[in-house]
Every structure is written in C-alpha cells, then in structure tokens.
Structure 1
Amino acid sequence: MATDMTTTGQAARFSGPARLGALIAAVVLVADQVLKLALLHGAGLTETNGFRLAPFLDIVLVWNRGISYGLFQQETAVGRWGLAALTVVAVVALGVWLSRVRHWLAAVSLGLVIGGAIGNGIDRIWYGAVVDFVHFYVGSFSWYVFNIADVAIVAGAAGLVLDSLRGRSGRQ
C-alpha cells in the first residue's frame, strides 16, 4: 500500500503543467542539439566562415566559453567544468521548481529555460564551449551571436518575470 501512495504522490507531483514543461524542455533540447549537429557536421560550419541567410542575418560559428553575452569567459578546464557543474545545479533546482508548479505560464517558461540550459550544458561538456551561430545585424549595429538554447532561455526568463507579475485570482 505504501508503494501505491508513493507512486500516486509522484504522479500527482507531475500534473498537467509540469508535464507540459518537461515536454517543452525535451523539444527545446532536441531542436537545439539537432540544429547544432546539422550546422557543424552537415553544413560544414567548422570548415567555412559561415553563410548569409538574409541581408541582416548570417550563420557563423562562435565558440562561447563563457555564459550569456560571452560574459565570464573560461579558458581553463577548471572554468569549463565549473560552469558545467553550475549548469547541473541550476537544472536540478529548476526541475524541482517545475515539479511543483501549477500554472501553465510558469511551466512553459521553466521548460524553455531547462531545455536551453541542458542544450548549452551538453555543448560545454562535449566541445568545451557553447556552439553559437545566429548573427543578426542592421548596418553597423551587430547583435551578439546566439543559438536556439539561448533564445529559449531568454524567452523562458521573460515568461517567468511575466508570471511573477500576474495576479493569482484563481486562473491557471
């Protein structure tokens, strides 16, 4: 009987919103990794200087050894593995949060952040740096180079801010 209660408790823990968040994390992770592999190995991005998709958009290869916007660049193995360990801790904490969330916006947002963090974490472990490749620019203004995981993390963080600002009048 105790096993049934534990199983039931676990199933209740991952209700609709949490399951949706986990699904979104998986979709983001797969999309991020498939696109990176296709560009690195299929399109030969490591052998070329990239290519232009539009007058304001290039696909280029940048190895980001830091975190967002290239901050805290790490050139040593200790730095690399330190950032990888930080990613694992963050993903576990976000996963616990996701398991407890009951609101759809929070679940979707956490799923985006978790999927993006895992995608960039895999890069850091596998390649020693995060694979960034999307370069937007307008004239002489150049946005930083980023990837799908970065977009998911930023969108997820924005969703979490929006969710925190919403009133909880019983709406899900």
Structure 2
Amino acid sequence: MIAADAAVSTGVRRGWGWLLLAIAIVVADQITKSAIVAAFRDGAGLAITDFFSLILTYNTGAAFSFLATETGWQRWFFAAVAVAATALIVMLLRRGGSSVYCAGLALILGGALGNLWDRLIIGKVVDFLLFHYGQWAFPAFNVADSAITVGAALLILDSFRARRADPPKEG
C-alpha cells in the first residue's frame, strides 16, 4: 500500500471518512423534508399502501412527541442535547473502531444534525413517514429518525460482536 492510500485508510478508520455518511444523511433528510413541505399542508397526506402514508406533521418534542405540549423551552433543550451529542460522536469517531461501530455513530450523527437543523431553522421537526394498520398508527417520523434508529441498532450489534470476540477470562 502506498503512503497516500495508508493515510486515506487511516483517516477513514479514525472517523473523518465517516463524516461523509453523516453529511449524506443530513442532505437526504433535508431534501425529503423540503419535498414533503412543498407537496402537503400540515396534516395532509397521501396513502401509498394500506399500511403506509406520507403525511406532513410537525413535532416540537422528541421521539414519540415527548414534551411536545410544553411551552417552547424544549426546542432549546433538545437543540442543546443534539449539540452535545454531536461533540461526543465526533470525538468517538476520531478514536475509530470497527466499521459497524463507526457507521452506527455516523448515522446517529447525521440524524441528530438533520433534526437539529429543523429545530434551529423552523422551531420544530418535520415528520412525514407514517405506518398504520386499522385504527393503530406508529408515530410519524423522518429520514433522520430512521438513521438514528439504525445507528443505535448498529451500536448494539457492535457491542454484542465485541463481547463475543473477547470472552471473559476465568481466573
């Protein structure tokens, strides 16, 4: 391997290359949200299948509209949490780790930044993906939320893989 290839490889393992994945998530999240906002009015939607719809809804809270009915302080609280999480994730990415671990962190980072952008610019998060069956409906979510969920699942998977690879020593 030539020196330039080694430097690029080390940079990716150290986390900087994973930032591109995070940026791609932010871009995809914002493009899809912009398209939905342009296509629908608040609360309006389009049934795609019997169990999936696109719907424009806004969330001033966190996951599952947690704290959405509060007086507005939660906007800045969740923004601060996202900024702190961003700093921590960037630090962890710089340390490096397995590809599964770094991909998980990058997905969470991209999702956190996508929703942070909404909170800072419009004061609430755009949600538009709705799964439902009969009277039951899962809370609407977006690309950023999906990235955070998949990223968290990857971190859990990586923790199981790490435990299996390094069994406890008897002694």
TM-score, normalised to structure 2's length?
Answer: 0.83
The residue that corresponds to 2:98 in the other structure is 103
Q: Name stretches of at least 5 consecutive residues in structure 2 with no aligned partner.
A: 1-6, 167-171
Residue 73 of structure 1 and its aligned partner are, at CA, apart by: 2.0
The residue that corresponds to 2:162 in the other structure is 167
Cα deviations by residue, 1:77-100 (Å, 9 ceiling, x for unpaired)? 432112111111111111111111
| Change beyond 3 A, Cα 1:47–1:15 | closer
Check the 8 A contact 2:42/2:57 in 1, yes or no.
Answer: no
* Code of the aligned partner of 1:50: G
Cα deviations by residue, 1:115-166 (Å, 9 ceiling, x for unpaired)? 0000000011111111001110122221111001000000000100111111
Q: Name stretches of at least 5 consecutive residues in structure 1 with no aligned partner.
A: 1-9
The residue that corresponds to 1:30 in the other structure is 27
TM-score, normalised to structure 1's length?
Answer: 0.83
Alignment of 1:81 with 2:76, yes or no, is yes
The residue that corresponds to 1:92 in the other structure is 87
Alignment of 1:53 with 2:48, yes or no, is yes
Residue 24 of structure 1 and its aligned partner are, at CA, apart by: 1.1
% identical equivalent positions: 35
Distance in 1, Cα, partners of 2:69 & 2:23: 27
Aligned match for 2:133, one of 111, 133, 138: 138
Number of equivalences: 159
RMSD (CA atoms)? 2.3
Distance in 2, Cα, partners of 1:63 & 1:138: 21
| Change beyond 3 A, Cα 1:13–1:67 | farther
